[in-house]
Amino acid sequence: MPFITNEDPKSAVQDSAAPVKEPGRMARFLDSDLFHSFLKSKVTVVAATGTAILFLLAFLAPWIAPHNPFDLASISIMDARVPPFWMEYADPRFLLGTDDQGRDMLSAIFYGMRISLIVGFCSVVAAAFIGISLGLVAGYMGGRVDAIIMRIADVQLTFPAILIALLIDGIAHGIFGAIDREVFAFYILIVSLALSFWVQYARTVRGSTMVEKNKEYVQAARVIGIPSVIIMVRHILPNVTGPVLVIATINLALAIVTEATLSFLGVGMPPTQPSLGTLIAIGNDFLYSGEWWIAIFPGLALALLVLNVNLLGDWLRDALNPKLR
Amino acid sequence: MSVLDIKDLRVEFPGRKSVFVAVDDVTLSVDAGKVLGVVGESGAGKSTVGNAVIGLLQEPGHIAGGEVYLHGKRIDQLPYKEKRRLRGRKIGMIFQDPLTSLDPLQTVESQLVETIRTHLPLSRSQARQRAIDLIEAVGIPDASERIKQYPHQFSGGMRQRVVIALALCAEPELVIADEPTTALDVSIQAQILELMKELCRERNVAMLVITHDMGVIADITDHVAVMYHGELVEYGETIQVLGAPEHPYTQSLISAVPRPDIKVERFPVVNYIEKAGTPQKQIDIATHWLGKARDYEKVTGPLVQIKDLDMQFETRGSIFPSKRKYFKAVKKVSFDINEGETFGLVGESGSGKSTIARLITGLYQPTGGSILFGKTELTSLKNRKDVLAMRRQMQMIFQDPYSSLNARMRVSDIIAEPIKFHRLASSNAEVRQIVDDLLDHVGLGAAAGKKFPHEFSGGQRQRISIARALATRPRFLICDEPTSALDVSIQAQILNLLKDLQQELGLTMLFISHDLAVIRQMCNRIGVMRHGELCEVADCDQLFEAPQHPYTRELLNLMPSLELLSRANLATA
Amino acid sequence: MIGFATRRIVQAMIVMLVVALLAFTMFRFVGDPINQMVGIETSIEDREALRDRLGLNDPVPVQFFRFITKAAQFDFGTSYQFRQPVSELFAKRIPATLELSFASAVFALVVGIPMGIYAGLNRESPISKLFLSVSLIGISLPTFFIGILLIFLFSVTLQWLPSFGRGETVQIGSWWTTGFLTISGLKALILPSITLGLYQMTLIMRLIRAEMLEVIRTDYIKFARARGLPDRLVNFRHALKNTLVPVITITGLQLGAIIAFATITETVFQWPGMGLMFLQAVQNVDIPIMSAYLMLTAFLFVTINFIVDILYFFIDPRLRVGRP
């Protein structure tokens, strides 16, 4: 058996005697390399703050938005297509102008962002759940189970997520008919997004699981006699969360974009429950007639949201990748 | 004038909280045709010395003080381009792992030719001829054909020969070899060391060999520098330093090296290096939990009987059974282990010794043969309850202390898991008490339980592993290379601990190692394995004094001679 | 080599079969095909007759076999909305999509690869950081929004380039039409191909950079430096070539993705390709077009993947020559 020495100067520091006093969990986090690399990257701090603000605006929309764009009593067609505040004919009530039905753009964006985020989160959770479970099973069991799961993943991977989502949506459309769409749109979206994104989790988790499976701590657990399911959940799962976290973050951005795209293409959220994508789709019709703000403002909000989440994901990936440190 | 002169070298790695001084105040020199060994344990800064000389320190490391001279010319302050010209041309380098040192996408020829032509004004065909000569010189037969092949077509030892050829191809004056044989098997290690020694004398090259292995030092070096925590603690002629070490660190390091030629009861405890932990609390086995409920069925005859054990792995799957390819890892192996003894299995990598351990513990299912544990046939156990009952009686200690503990669990949870799983304690309070006792017993102290594995050093982690293995109150303990990832001084501590535990608890052990010296210190009887077959089983002393099988003789011959090493400390042990 | 290629072809055929099964299931079980084909006034007897004539009463495996036999001859049935053979509809639109995809792919590769190599080799340079920031914005902006912004800027505001359609096209042969040969065709191609290629470009760039950084940390690169090889050789002969192996795989997948993403771009720019038709089919539940599109794109992806695997084979000697 070859012998492997550890001649990295950094590990030598680790090897020195363990600290005497036991710091608390919070103190340990604040002192961790992860938190430190976070503070060191100014962009990341800005992105985290930006994300937090956008999330707050979205989830607190019913309480902080100046208007309720869904309250039919409060909107008036007389207020339609008012431009944003710095332009001529602006109305001080509507900071970013109004759309074709007289809804306040700023409020519509807050509410739209809320819907986009809810769809994003739900689909990420669903995709992660499917992907992690299948990835763990495939990686740990190996053999035929693994072959079947991964072949399915391979076939699916040849198709971009958007195409799968479109197909599922089309099929659901065929099954439920157009009338029920309003009710089911939200669930159809989450199912189609989850089914198009699970593969990434499954592949990553499977890869990490195959590495972890051969590590000696798993063998030690098997020697003790612990059953496979418990080994997977208690021992392997906590050790593969790093990459999953990175994927989930980047995936949230991707899910928001995909949802927006589907809504823009008219197969996502209906105009009665508009997400950012639906708002852009509505505004797109008015682009040529000069009312650009109806499309551009929701678009910028979307881009800002996705950019911030992506920046966080990017940093997380570099920070958790020990190879790049 | 010396080829290489290092004066007061200091290398720093600025970190987040403080500056880490990897090398401090090191002064060395190497003459043409001579070999200087730099020896030390992990973290001693020995590799950093080599990297500093060739100018390949990993960022953010840098030379913070001192001077490096090559043939009297100062080289540490040269601009990047000139430094690069020295590499390969004046200074050749050999790395530890031959499997990753070569570009997998280029032929050996193209890697040699490009290096030769970078440094020497030769035409392509001249360079090619030179490449073939070099490959021949490093002992690869059929050079003109093999040179056209890709690295993956060479074995590990052959690849290291290619690496040596690459290091020598522009006639450098100095060669730095960083753990050149660490990744190789003993038999290949001996050949590569021989080759290096020869080439160094023939070509009048100065060589700097960096290693953790006293055997390598004793084998090929003329001078030796002993490093400890970045500092040079002793420096002189190899015979002098190894035979009569002056510094207490060198003395303790040498005394900790396991000797194949002498059997000692206990290794001398080395307190200079790492504290052995808080002193063990003495427990009375007769009344303690560890000693209780050892109500295992009595066996007459051997505890473990292995008969005609066979194991093959599928190396190429196919839907057609005739096209499948198998690798036979274990072929018809039979041996017995008596209750209370330590049985050693020794062999090179790929000899199947670890596979046997995994077959006994049930991690793999054998493709043939039988394993009798007491009166129970392990291979035919179906009932889950019976399986668990057997699992509880045998535990295993693994090689790599860094991966054998779950990094996400607290040490106390790691040790408590088997106790809770097998319901060996009646209350949580009792579990806690047992875990604390176990941690005390392996020399870590109960406070260690609250921490996570990454807060411990390799040796300490191996103690945790041992505590976990003891937590099921096993009667049979399998140790699979338990110390081969550890520094030699820590290895001595762990081996002592294992010996003590065995005596106290009356454990039966299967001890697996590639290191004959370690095996000799630990085992009563020994089996020698090669290519999945068991060549010879003999009593320990008999095997070393009068080996029967030619392969055993070969292995014994290949062991680095440690005659040079001081015997002073052994006398007191 | 032949064994390798055969294995890949068999795998590709299995993928195609699975996709065909999906398409067939969709075609057969989502909604009733008969209801889609006939009016409300058609009697039950007529419906049954039609059902019989179309073979919808045969055992399902027989129907599936007929489905793939027909699909292999590019017969995908009749569109519900247009009442025309699906294959004819596609034939008219495939050139538009392929030309758009080709232009975007060229744009993505020609711009993305050099940027990625530069950013990988000069990790700390300000230009690399600029590339990275720009690429992050490129990834964060949804494709359709990029299209809208480009239209707003270059078509609505500056009025330099057209915002929809293919411009003038030229007929080549019996069924291919090209926009490459006329000024208006080329002008019409600019905005859509940038829109479509931007995302893939940033992806390729980031991927190459990441792979470069990985490879540069390997032992053999360190050893190449220790041998004193000039940076140019280390970077291009050793690092870049090793980077290529994973890059080619992902790039292949990305080129496949371009064809699918074309759906979005074609909608934004009203580009008369098959993506636009597919989207209309999704909205109108025109199952024959959907299943045909599924199989066509799957076929394109599988072909691209096959080519990628073969390329792999030429780059990586570990696949080509066995161990001793």
Taking contacts as CB-CB distances below 8 angstroms, the residues of chain C near A167 are: 26, 282, 290, 294
**Quick one: pLDDT at residue A21?**
46
**Quick one: pLDDT at residue A27?**
67
Lowest mean pLDDT among A275-279, B127-131, B236-240, B276-280: B276-280
Pairing of strands B91-94, B304-316: unpaired
**Quick one: pLDDT at residue B571?**
41
Q: Which residues pair with B208 in a beta bridge?
A: B36, B176
Contact B474, B507 (CB under 8 A): yes
When pLDDT is cut at 50, 70 and 90, the band that residue B156 belongs to is confident
CATH number at residue A257: 1.10.3720.10
Phi, psi of C241 (to 5 degrees): -65, -40
Taking contacts as CB-CB distances below 8 angstroms, the residues of chain A near C214 are: 323
CA C221 to chain CA centroid, nearest Å? 35
CA B88 to chain CA centroid, nearest Å? 29
Lowest mean pLDDT among A165-174, B100-109, C109-118: A165-174
Contact B375, B297 (CB under 8 A): yes
Q: Write the pLDDT tens digit of every residue in A21-42.
A: 445 666 666 666 777 777 777 7
The pLDDT of residue A66 is above 80: no
Give the C-alpha separation, C198 to B78, whole Å.
Answer: 44
Contact B544, B556 (CB under 8 A): yes
The pLDDT of residue B478 is above 90: yes
Contact at CB, A235 and B406, closer than 8 angstroms: yes
**Quick one: pLDDT at residue B296?**
67
The pLDDT of residue B517 is above 60: yes
C-alpha distance from B108 to closest chain C C-alpha (Å): 12
Rounded mean pLDDT, B126-132:
92
The pLDDT of residue B510 is above 90: yes
The pLDDT of residue A11 is above 50: no
Give the C-alpha separation, C290 to C283, whole Å.
Answer: 10
**Quick one: pLDDT at residue B567?**
56
Per cent of chain A over pLDDT 90 is 14
The pLDDT of residue B564 is above 80: no
Q: Is the ipTM of this complex over 0.90?
A: no
Contact A267, C282 (CB under 8 A): yes
**Quick one: pLDDT at residue B274?**
47
Q: Which residue of chain B has the CA closest to C318?
A: B152
Domain range summary for chain B, segments of one domain joined by +:
4-256, 289-572
Q: How many CB pairs under 8 A join A and B?
A: 132
C-alpha distance from C219 to closest chain B C-alpha (Å): 5
- Asked whether residue A284 is domain-assigned, the answer is yes
Q: Write the pLDDT tens digit of every residue in C78-109.
A: 887 788 888 888 888 888 888 899 999 999 98
Contact at CB, B391 and A22, closer than 8 angstroms: no
Give the C-alpha separation, B102 to C209, whole Å.
Answer: 22
When pLDDT is cut at 50, 70 and 90, the band that residue B127 belongs to is very high
- Which CATH code fits C89-312? 1.10.3720.10
Site of tokens 């990598």? B349
Rounded mean pLDDT, B296-320:
79
- Which CATH code fits B289-572? 3.40.50.300
C-alpha distance from C322 to closest chain B C-alpha (Å): 7
Average pLDDT, chain A: 78
Average pLDDT, chain B: 85
Pairing of strands B231-237, B304-316: unpaired
Taking contacts as CB-CB distances below 8 angstroms, the residues of chain C near B145 are: none
The pLDDT of residue A4 is above 50: no
Q: Which residue of chain B has the CA closest to C215?
A: B103
Contact at CB, B170 and C228, closer than 8 angstroms: yes
CA B484 to chain CA centroid, nearest Å? 4
C-alpha distance from C235 to closest chain B C-alpha (Å): 12
Site of tokens 């060549």? B535
Q: How many CB pairs under 8 A join A and C?
A: 117
Per cent of chain B over pLDDT 70 is 91
Contact at CB, B396 and A223, closer than 8 angstroms: yes
**Quick one: pLDDT at residue A177?**
63
Domain range summary for chain C, segments of one domain joined by +:
2-72, 89-312
When pLDDT is cut at 50, 70 and 90, the band that residue B346 belongs to is very high
Rounded mean pLDDT, B108-136:
92
The pLDDT of residue B459 is above 60: yes
Structural domain for A254, as ranges: 46-68+89-320
Q: Three-state DSSP class for A23?
A: coil
Q: Write the pLDDT tens digit of every residue in B34-70.
A: 999 999 888 788 889 999 998 888 878 889 989 999 9
The pLDDT of residue A323 is above 80: no
String of DSSP letters for C153-213? IIIIIS--S-SSS--S-EEETTTEEESTTSHHHHHHHHHHHHHHHHHHHHHHHHHHHHHHH
Give the C-alpha separation, C284 to B37, whole Å.
Answer: 79
Rounded mean pLDDT, B445-470:
87
Put simply, whether C282 touches A (Cβ < 8 Å) is yes
Q: Write the pLDDT tens digit of every residue in B13-42.
A: 887 778 888 899 999 999 998 999 999 888
Domain B4-256: which topology?
Rossmann fold (3.40.50)
Give the C-alpha separation, A219 to B223, whole Å.
Answer: 44
Residues of chain C with pLDDT under 70: 1, 31-33, 36-40, 321-324
Give the C-alpha separation, B434 to A46, whole Å.
Answer: 50
Contact at CB, B93 and C227, closer than 8 angstroms: yes
Contact at CB, B514 and A1, closer than 8 angstroms: yes
